[in-house]
């Protein structure tokens, strides 16, 4: 495995985390957050859109050892596919799982998974409020929880605007940190798969300045290894990449050359 491509832990070295968006059993090409329009993924890494085989290709072809899984069926109201999560960790991959966590009652299928291998993603678009986040943190602890500050064209997406009481991204990030969050993900859904970058440079800088002790990951629209290097230099703990791995714009040699520096 390539150094620096595994599970993100607080205070760890810079990481690259590949993405799989899975809908109705297939890996799909996520574009602009328009989930109803997502089509089966076409990738140079494997001839099919089978999630397990694509994950295996991340491991074997690219030398990656971690994976961000967006379980779109669960995010849109279905049950988490715990058997798929186990199959992916069975490949030796460390997993970040976004299953549309709404509150602590959604945790049991995730708590049964290997705590050393599976990080739980709690997205702002699903979380019901700060009390819910506090309860989730209490159950699984801050090292295993990644809170996704979900954005739509730069503005936070909240499951309950009344509960969160505001739509300022920087203020929400500060609120997460005050609750004990140590791992943040900045993700603007409108930029996913578009190739125009994550668009969170100012937000990343503000969070890093206010809370340098936490890990901040980001993703969406990264197209070249230069973009990965740019965000590493800006203090990101990790970047999430999807399309650029599947069409070959970022390959194993580029990743290895950057991360072995």
Neighbours of 34 (CB within 10 A): 12
Structure tokens at 152: 């739509």
Give the pTM: 0.91
Q: Does residue 2 lie in a domain region? A: no
Residue 9 falls inside a structural domain: no
What residues make up the domain containing 242? 15-259
Backbone phi, then psi, for 200, in 5-degree steps? -120, 25
H or E element that contains 121: strand 118-123
Could you tell me the pLDDT band of residue 48, with boundaries at 50, 70 and 90?
Answer: very high
Q: What is the mean pLDDT of residues 237-248?
A: 94
Q: What is the pLDDT of residue 81?
A: 95
Of all residues in the chain, the percent with pLDDT exceeding 90 is 75
State residue 35's pLDDT score.
66
* Distant-in-sequence, close-in-space partners of 70: CB < 8 Å, separation ≥ 6: 19, 20, 21, 22, 30, 98
Is 6's pLDDT higher than 70? no
Per-residue pLDDT at 159: 85
Looking up residue 210, the CATH number of its domain turns out to be: 3.20.20.70
pLDDT at position 29: 79
Domain-embedded: residue 220: yes
Average pLDDT over residues 219-223: 89
Nearest partner of 110 among 53, 49, 69, judged by Cα: 69
Please count the other Cβ atoms lying within 10 Å of the Cβ belonging to residue 50. Answer: 17
| Tens-place pLDDT, residues 76-116 | 889 999 999 999 999 999 999 999 999 999 999 999 899 99
Query: Cβ–Cβ contacts within 10 Å for residue 49, how many?
Result: 20
- Per-residue confidence (pLDDT) for residue 261, from 0 to 100: 61
Q: How many C-beta atoms lie closer than 10 Å to residue 237's C-beta?
A: 23
Q: Does 1 map to a domain?
A: no
**Phi then psi for 39, rounded to 5 degrees?**
-115, 155
Integer Cα distance of 260 and 145 in angstroms: 27
Q: What is the tens place of the pLDDT at every residue in 191-206? A: 886 777 888 999 999 9
Rg, the chain, Cα only: 17
For the CA atoms of 150, 154, 158, 161, the dihedral, rounded to the nearest 10 degrees, stands at 160
Q: What is the pLDDT of residue 98?
A: 95
Cα distance between residue 22 and residue 194, in whole Å: 18
- Which pLDDT belongs to residue 192? 80
Q: What is the pLDDT of residues 139-186, one digit of tens each?
A: 999 999 999 999 998 999 998 888 898 889 999 999 999 999 999 999
What is the reported pLDDT for 21?
A: 92
For residue 10, is it within any domain? Answer: no
The mean of the pLDDT values for the chain is: 90
- What total of structural domains would you count in the chain? 1
Within 13 A of 111's CA, how many CA atoms are on the CB side? 11
């Amino acid at each position: 495995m390539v150094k620096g491509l595994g599970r993100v832990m607080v205070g760890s070295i810079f990481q690259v985390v590949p993405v799989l968006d899975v809908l109705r059993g297939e890996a799909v090409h996520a574009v602009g957050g328009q989930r109803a329009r997502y089509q089966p993924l076409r990738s140079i890494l494997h001839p099919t859109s089978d999630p397990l085989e694509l994950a295996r290709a991340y491991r074997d072809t690219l030398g990656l050892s971690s994976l961000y899984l967006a379980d779109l069926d669960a995010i849109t109201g279905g049950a988490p596919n715990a058997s798929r999560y186990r199959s992916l960790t069975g490949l030796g991959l460390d997993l970040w799982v976004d299953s549309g966590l709404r509150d602590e009652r959604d945790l049991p299928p995730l708590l049964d998974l290997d705590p050393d291998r599976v990080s739980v993603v709690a997205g702002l678009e699903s979380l019901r409020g700060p009390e819910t986040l506090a309860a989730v943190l209490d159950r699984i602890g801050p090292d295993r929880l990644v809170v996704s500050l979900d954005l739509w064209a730069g503005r936070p997406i909240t499951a309950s605007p009344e509960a969160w009481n505001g739509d300022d991204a920087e203020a929400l990030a500060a609120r997460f940190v005050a609750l004990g969050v140590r791992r943040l993900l900045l993700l603007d859904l409108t930029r996913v798969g578009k190739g125009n970058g994550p668009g969170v440079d100012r937000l990343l800088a503000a969070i890093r300045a206010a809370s340098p002790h936490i890990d901040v990951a980001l993703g969406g629209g990264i197209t070249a290894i230069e973009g990965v290097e740019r965000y590493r230099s800006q203090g990101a703990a990790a970047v999430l990449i999807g399309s650029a791995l599947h069409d070959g714009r970022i390959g194993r040699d580029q990743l290895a050359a950057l991360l072995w520096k």
